[in-house]
Amino acid sequence: MVRLERRADRTYHVIGLMSGTSGDGVDAALVRIDPAADGGARPQVATLAYETFPYDAELKRELFPLFDTDTARVDAICAMNVRLGEVFAEAARRVAERAGVPLGRVDLIGSHGQTIHHLPPRAPGTCGSTLQIGEPAVIAERTGVHVVSNFRARDMAVGGQGAPLIPFADWVLLGRPGARLAVQNIGGIGNVTVLPASDRLEEVTAFDTGPGNMVIDGLVRRLTGGRLHMDRDGLIALSAEPDAEWVDELLTHPYFALEPPKSTGREEFGEPFAAAMWEEGRRRGLSPEAVVATATLLTARSIADQYRRFVLPGGSLDAVILGGGGAHNPALVGFLAGLLHPTPIQTHEELGWSTDAKEAIGFALLAWATWVGMPGNVPGATGAQAPRVLGSITYA
């Protein structure tokens, strides 16, 4: 029987599905969401299962050309939309199986989908646009569960950047009164959520800091002829010296001077940016390993630069909580720790949460918020004119 009650005062089982700008696969998390213990707005969350389902090589070969306006075709996007719907549905089924929870007991699925293109507004009064694929109707049909999707579009319709959307989850999971915290995610793109000491959601701010792993990954693919897709354990970057003067030049990119709220993606720091770095590295006579090391330093310094410009003027930080795939790269973490010293760096795991699962958990929380009628965007993060209930619902 399809349940349509939308009360916030009961327990929900929700699956969150997320694929980021790196396009590596689907992160799936099944969480239990209970009402706030104190009757407030912050629900209680427990992770029941989490798993990553990598895209296979053939799917990646067909997907990655869709990120590039020179190679994307309308028919290919149309077909991939349905194909990814099947992939996301299978991820939902398997994470429920791993948790030992029948799909019939799952109330909602929150699916971010796979971003194909993201064009944030760059002037006041303009409306940006964004496109995520992974057909929710397919997910609902295969699982028998209501699906909440297309989260970013409503925020952009009200003047927001449509990103970042995870600050709501950062506040729910990591906020604590009296502590001013920076939650730094390093996925394909880097983004930071600043949690205020007041612990008030309306005072949370966030923005994309610039490249995360995306440029590093693109250079590693070139270095290894496609054999590797990431600098695992930072071994390549650790084997060479970065070109610090070149990083100074790279930090003059116009994005870094933009004031928050702001967001970015493949359109600015994708394959063309990585290709240009590769060629410039050759022109400078650097080894391929040194180019990867330089890109790694660029990510770390861009984060520190954005903190200096836009975070620290608002007050000192009690800690930086590091997450995303970049948190597993010792070269990147080492650069960042040195640049942010003496501010301590903590991991999500130290605070009881999985770094890898956090964004999937975030979209489970956003689906729950949509279902119970709670705004999921944070205007201080996206620049939206007002908070809004996000997403579209596809009923089971």
226 plus 103 within the same structural domain: no
Q: CB–CB of 388/154 below 8 Å?
A: yes
Residues 6+ apart with CB under 8 A from 226: none
Structural domain count, the chain: 2
188 plus 311 within the same structural domain: yes
Residues 6+ apart with CB under 8 A from 307: 182, 192, 317, 340
Burial of 283 (0-12, 13-18, 19+ CB in 10 A): exposed
Residues 13 and 107: their CA atoms lie apart, in Å, by 5
Answer with the residue of higher pLDDT: 40 or 79: 79
Would the pLDDT of 209 be above 50? yes
Residues 137 and 111: their CA atoms lie apart, in Å, by 11
200 plus 64 within the same structural domain: no
Question: Does residue 352 form part of some domain?
Answer: no
pLDDT band of residue 201 (cuts 50, 70, 90) is very high
pLDDT tens digits, 260-311: 999 898 889 999 999 999 999 999 999 999 999 999 999 999 999 999 999 9
140 plus 225 within the same structural domain: no
106 plus 16 within the same structural domain: yes
Neighbours of 256 (CB within 10 A): 18
126 plus 178 within the same structural domain: no
239 plus 123 within the same structural domain: no
194 plus 149 within the same structural domain: no
Residue type, 320: V
Question: Does residue 134 form part of some domain?
Answer: yes
Range of the domain at 246: 167-343
76 plus 210 within the same structural domain: no
In the chain, % of residues over pLDDT 90: 89
How confident is the model at residue 4, as a pLDDT?
62
140 plus 171 within the same structural domain: no
> Which tokens sit at 318?
């009690």
49 plus 128 within the same structural domain: yes
Q: CB–CB of 325/21 below 8 Å?
A: no
Would the pLDDT of 125 be above 90? no
Residues 173 and 199: their CA atoms lie apart, in Å, by 12
End-to-end CA distance of the chain: 10
Would the pLDDT of 8 be above 90? no
Question: Does residue 348 form part of some domain?
Answer: no
Would the pLDDT of 3 be above 70? no
The overall average pLDDT reported for the chain is: 95
Pairing of strands 189-195, 181-186: antiparallel
How much is the pTM?
A: 0.92
How confident is the model at residue 1, as a pLDDT?
38
308 plus 174 within the same structural domain: yes
Closest CA to 257 of 220, 316, 207, 321: 207
Would the pLDDT of 145 be above 70? yes
pLDDT tens digits, 25-68: 999 999 999 998 876 778 999 999 999 999 999 999 999 999 99
Would the pLDDT of 109 be above 90? yes
pLDDT tens digits, 324-372: 999 999 999 999 999 999 999 999 999 999 999 999 999 999 999 999 9
pLDDT tens digits, 313-328: 999 999 999 999 999 9
Which CATH number is 139's domain given? 3.30.420.40
